A and B are shown apart, each in its own frame.
Chain A
Amino acid sequence: MQKNGPVALIFHTLVLAFVLAPLVIICLVAFTPENTLSLPTTGLSLRWFKAVFAHPDFVTSFWNSIWLATLSATLAIALAVPAGLAISRYTFPGRDFMNALFLSPLIIPHLVLGVAFLRLFALLGATGSFAWLVATHIIVVTPYVLRLVLAALSGLDRSAEQAARTLGAGEWTAFRRITAPMILPGITGGWLLAFINSFDELTMSIFVTSPATVTLPVRMYMYATESIDPMMAAVSTLMIAITAIAMLVLDRAFGLDRILVGQR
């Protein structure tokens, strides 16, 4: 392994400072005792955190987002694993079309998806229901799952599965006992990526949420456009804290680079 020179390390430090600066400033400002966005100079205060928990809109939106992300990530797995099996294992008419269709939400801007859903729901009279919101999020997160599932399947040694089939295991048993455990890192990584993408999604959701189904990012966006006070910093700090904890747990359990690369 070669070492990095001093220039490389200075560059690296600057990049780290750039990446961390906005997050650090949020966490500092959240503890200000003042009424305005300012760095805490006279003392630390938890008043803005208390304000967040006393603000029912933020609490409701938080749970909306958690449910939405959990449901859409799980349903995306249920959709992407069989689709991935079909695409990676069979040649059939329409295969390329299906593959392109499943991955298309990656190249369709979320903004366009948002207005398209809005039009569909307006015609169906379905605007504002939570079930439809989940459906839109499944569309958005499925490509992430499918990509990792396809990567896991393509790197798979199929001899174990063929051995199981030779030894009399049915198709379903072979999948459940052999294939599924082998592609589990891909599935888990896909679920997590899907969860995070759904939890953070703003641009599409802003068109399809109703006052009752507002997600946390949409709530924060609306709040940030209307008022500027340290409460926004406090909510953001809580989100950063939750993300950091989740990230550390993930890294301990699977290794973050393994999830991002799919498989090592």
Chain B
Amino acid sequence: MTARSSFVPAPWLLAGPGTLFFVGLVLLPLALTVILSFHAYDHSSGIQNTFTLSHYVAVVTDEYYLSIFWRTLRIAALTTLICAAIGVPEAYILSRMRDPWRSIFLLVIIGPLLVSVVVRTFGWSMLLGSQGLVNQALELFGFPAAKILYTETAIVIALVHVMLPFMVIPVWTALQKLDPMVEAAAWTLGASRFTALRRVVMPQVTLGMLSGSLIVFGLSASAFAVPALLGGRRLKMAATLVYDEYLHELNWPLGASIAIIVLVANLCIMLAYNRLVETRARRTLG
């Protein structure tokens, strides 16, 4: 690459300590967890030293676990769609504003990212509760009060709120690279507003939207705080299920097998999506 690449030991000295640290604290614990997921478990004597596939079999055949996985995928997909539907236009609107409004509103939209998820979820549990502001507003307009808290709707609403900045940031970044004069040039050359949006702005935005969707889907599918606080004891998602197996049921091997399934599913979706993003990028950039 450069003349200095002849210094062979240098990169190893620079990155070596970090690599060792990451091997010891990422790869090793993950490997141990994979092994743990094959250990037999007995409710009276705990983790056994014999190996079995029974946890995986139980998880993929039991109706109870399957329904939780489907719910997790459904909620994550819905959250991603809504985030894209809100985040992309919002980023575009923001990018067309003048300073100081633009900076102020960007701060307002992205700022909540810095506020703890527990705080934001707690806010939604107050808004959506049976005596919450949303229900009071419904009653004011003559609608019957709805049970929103402890339903999937509540989980999706709060997840969209938590994930929205992750959609706005990459789209905003993509739009920053777009010279606004290019869009204006398209109008001058006779393109309608819609055509200019579709042919000039959208290709730029798509990549940002895809990488935003990737982040939002992955984070939603493994989200813990939102389903734990808004789903109640009954409405479980993958993450809250693992938590229960580990800290309430104390069946670590079963919990480990679910965690590994979550991990593998997440990696597969990420890889598939990554490939999609790359193909898209190659096609757009020529």
List residues of A whose CB falls within 8 A of some B CB. 1-4, 8-9, 11-12, 15-16, 18-23, 25-26, 29, 37, 79-80, 82-83, 85-87, 89-92, 94-95, 98, 101-102, 104-105, 107-113, 115-120, 123, 135-136, 138-139, 142, 196, 199-200, 202-203, 206-207, 216-217, 220-221, 224-225, 232-233, 236, 239-240, 243-244, 246-247, 251, 255-257, 260-261, 264
The majority secondary structure among interface residues of chain B is: helix
A83 in contact with B1 (CB, 8 Å): no
| For the complex of A and B, 9 pairs with smallest distance between CB atoms | A22-B123, A109-B222, A116-B29, A86-B11, A86-B14, A86-B15, A90-B11, A82-B14, A120-B29
How far is the CB of B129 from the nearest CB of chain A, in Å?
A: 8
Residues from chain B with a CB closer than 8 A to the CB of A94 are: 19
Question: Of A89, A107, A120, A261, which is within 8 A of B173 by CB?
Answer: A261
Within B156-183, the residues touching A (CB, 8 Å) are: 161, 164, 169, 172-173, 176, 180, 183
Question: How many B residues face the partner with a CB closer than 8 A?
Answer: 92
Question: Of B19, B27, B114, B239, which is within 8 A of A247 by CB?
Answer: B114
Query: Bound complex: CA of A58 vs CA of B250, how far in Å?
Result: 27
Is B266's CB within 8 Å of the partner chain A?
Answer: yes
A21 in contact with B266 (CB, 8 Å): no
Residues from chain A with a CB closer than 8 A to the CB of B246 are: 115, 118, 207
Is B64's CB within 8 Å of the partner chain A?
Answer: no
B225 in contact with A202 (CB, 8 Å): yes
B218 in contact with A217 (CB, 8 Å): no
How far is the CB of A260 from the nearest CB of chain B, in Å?
A: 6
Closest residue on chain A to residue B160 by CB atoms:
A18
Residues from chain B with a CB closer than 8 A to the CB of A26 are: 119, 122-123, 126
B242 in contact with A115 (CB, 8 Å): yes
Query: Bound complex: CA of A236 vs CA of B115, how far in Å?
Result: 9
B224 in contact with A110 (CB, 8 Å): yes
B33 in contact with A102 (CB, 8 Å): no
B93 in contact with A112 (CB, 8 Å): no
Residues from chain A with a CB closer than 8 A to the CB of B203 are: none
Residues from chain B with a CB closer than 8 A to the CB of A87 are: 11, 15
Known: A11-B89, A101-B22, A139-B21. 13 other contacts (CB 8 A): A8-B96, A12-B90, A15-B86, A19-B112, A22-B123, A23-B112, A83-B14, A86-B14, A112-B259, A138-B21, A196-B113, A200-B116, A243-B111
Could you write out 29 A-B pairs with CB less than 8 Å apart?
A12-B90, A19-B112, A22-B120, A22-B123, A23-B112, A26-B123, A82-B15, A83-B18, A86-B15, A89-B1, A98-B15, A101-B23, A101-B27, A105-B26, A108-B30, A109-B221, A116-B33, A119-B32, A199-B116, A200-B114, A202-B117, A203-B225, A220-B118, A233-B122, A236-B119, A240-B115, A243-B115, A256-B103, A264-B176
Query: Bound complex: CA of A83 vs CA of B161, how far in Å?
Result: 34
B161 in contact with A19 (CB, 8 Å): yes
Q: Given A11-B89, A120-B29, check contact A236 B123 (CB 8 Å).
A: yes
Most buried by A among B32, B123, B222: B123
Residues from chain A with a CB closer than 8 A to the CB of B270 are: 107
Closest residue on chain B to residue A108 by CB atoms:
B263
Residues 67-108 of chain B: 1 if any A CB is under 8 Å from the residue's CB, otherwise 0?
000000000000000000010011001101110000101111
How far is the CB of B192 from the nearest CB of chain A, in Å?
A: 14
Closest residue on chain B to residue A158 by CB atoms:
B2
Query: Bound complex: CA of A55 vs CA of B127, how far in Å?
Result: 26
Closest residue on chain B to residue A109 by CB atoms:
B222
How far is the CB of A254 from the nearest CB of chain B, in Å?
A: 12
B229 in contact with A102 (CB, 8 Å): no
Query: Bound complex: CA of A133 vs CA of B214, how far in Å?
Result: 28
Is B36's CB within 8 Å of the partner chain A?
Answer: yes
Q: Given A90-B4, A107-B270, A108-B263, check contact A116 B30 (CB 8 Å).
A: yes
B108 in contact with A16 (CB, 8 Å): yes
Question: Of B90, B96, B116, which is within 8 A of A220 by CB?
Answer: B116
B33 in contact with A115 (CB, 8 Å): yes
How far is the CB of A221 from the nearest CB of chain B, in Å?
A: 5
Query: Bound complex: CA of A25 vs CA of B260, how far in Å?
Result: 38
Query: Bound complex: CA of A136 vs CA of B129, how far in Å?
Result: 35
B17 in contact with A4 (CB, 8 Å): no
How far is the CB of A219 from the nearest CB of chain B, in Å?
A: 9
